[in-house]
Structure 1
Amino acid sequence: MQKLKLYTVSFFDDLRKREDPLADQAVLFLVQNPNLIAEVNHWQTIPDSFPDSFSKEFKAFFRFYQDRSEAVDPQTLKGAQAFFEEKGDLYLAMLGFYSLPYCYAFADGAEVLVRSNRILAQIGERLGETSTFVMKIFKPGAFFESKEAYLVCAKVRLIHAFSRFFIHRYAQDWDDSFGKPVNQEDMLGTNLAFSFIVLRGLTKIGFAPTERQQTDVLRYWKWVGELMGIDVTFWPDTPKEAIELDRHIRKRHLKSSAAGKKLIRSLLDFYKESIPEPLIQAQVQGLLRFFLGKEAGDALDLERRVSYSGDLLGLMFTFLGWKNYGGKKGYVHLRRTLEKQQKERFGHVCEIRLPEIKRT
Structure 2
Amino acid sequence: MSSAGTEPHAEAAPAAPAFTNASLDALRQVGDELADATVAELFERGEMGKFNTLMRWFSTAGQELPDGLPDVARAYLEATAMPPSWVDWGEMERARLFFIDNNVHISTALSFVSMPACYAIPHVAKLLSATHSLAYPSRRMAETGQFTVYLMQPNAFEAGSRFIPAAQKVRLLHASIRHHLRREGRWDTERLGTPICQEDMIGGQLAFSIMVLDALHRLGIHISNEGADAYYYAWRVVGAMLGIDTALMPKDLDEARLFGDLYLTRHLGPSSEGVHLTRQLIDLYEEVVPGTVFDPVVPAMIRYLMGDTVADWLDVPRSAFWDTAIRTAPTLLGVLETLEDRSPVAAWALDRLGHYTSVLELSSLTRGRVMQYAIPEQLKGDYGVTSAKPRLDRWTPPPITPDLSGGR
**TM-score (ref. length: structure 2):** 0.75
Tell me, yes or no, if the aligned pair for 1:290 and 1:308 is still in contact at 8 Å. no
Relative to structure 1, is the Cα distance of residues 340 and 221 closer, same or farther in structure 2, using a 3 angstrom cutoff?
closer
C-alpha separation between the residues in 2 aligned to 1:49 and 1:340? 28
Partner of 2:156: 142
1:146-165 alignment to 2 at 5 Å?
Answer: 146-165=160-179
In proportion to residue count, which structure has more helix?
Answer: 1
Q: Which 5+ residue runs of structure 1 have no aligned equivalent?
A: 320-324
1:83 pairs, out of 95, 98, 116, with 98
C-alpha separation between the residues in 2 aligned to 1:330 and 1:216? 23
1:105-184 alignment to 2 at 5 Å?
Answer: 105-118=120-133, 122-144=136-158, 146-170=160-184, 172=186, 174=188, 176-184=190-198
Amino acid at match of 1:176: E
Relative to structure 1, is the Cα distance of residues 94 and 279 closer, same or farther in structure 2, using a 3 angstrom cutoff?
farther
Provide the aligned C-alpha RMSD in A: 3.1
C-alpha separation between the residues in 1 aligned to 2:86 and 2:99? 23
1:68 pairs, out of 57, 60, 83, with 83
C-alpha separation between the residues in 2 aligned to 1:122 and 1:52? 31
Tell me, yes or no, if the aligned pair for 1:86 and 1:330 is still in contact at 8 Å. no
Relative to structure 1, is the Cα distance of residues 301 and 247 closer, same or farther in structure 2, using a 3 angstrom cutoff?
same
Tell me, yes or no, if the aligned pair for 1:159 and 1:355 is still in contact at 8 Å. yes
Partner of 2:403: none
2:51 pairs, out of 36, 43, 51, with 36
Aligned residue-pair number: 348
1:190-339 alignment to 2 at 5 Å?
Answer: 190-276=204-290, 278-305=292-319, 306-307=323-324, 310-312=327-329, 315=332, 327-329=350-352, 333=356, 336-338=359-361
The share of aligned pairs that are identical, in percent, is: 25
**Is 2:28 aligned against 1:16?**
yes
Amino acid at match of 1:203: H
C-alpha separation between the residues in 2 aligned to 1:124 and 1:203? 27
Relative to structure 1, is the Cα distance of residues 278 and 183 closer, same or farther in structure 2, using a 3 angstrom cutoff?
same
Tell me, yes or no, if the aligned pair for 2:104 and 2:358 is still in contact at 8 Å. no
C-alpha separation between the residues in 2 aligned to 1:259 and 1:3? 39
Relative to structure 1, is the Cα distance of residues 43 and 112 closer, same or farther in structure 2, using a 3 angstrom cutoff?
same
Amino acid at match of 2:51: L
Tell me, yes or no, if the aligned pair for 2:150 and 2:163 is still in contact at 8 Å. yes
C-alpha separation between the residues in 2 aligned to 1:259 and 1:215? 34
Query: Cα distance, 1:172 vs. partner?
Result: 3.2
Amino acid at match of 2:364: Q
C-alpha separation between the residues in 1 aligned to 2:167 and 2:65? 19
Query: Cα distance, 1:246 vs. partner?
Result: 1.5
C-alpha separation between the residues in 2 aligned to 1:74 and 1:338? 29
Which one is further off, 231-240 or 188-197?
A: 231-240
TM-superposition CA deviations, 1:167-217 (whole Å, max 9, x none):
223353646312211111111111111111111111111103111111101
3-state DSSP class of the match of 1:114?
Answer: helix
3-state DSSP class of the match of 2:17?
Answer: helix
1:333-352 alignment to 2 at 5 Å?
Answer: 333=356, 336-338=359-361, 340-342=363-365, 346=367, 348-352=368-372
Tell me, yes or no, if the aligned pair for 1:77 and 1:219 is still in contact at 8 Å. yes
3-state DSSP class of the match of 2:296?
Answer: helix
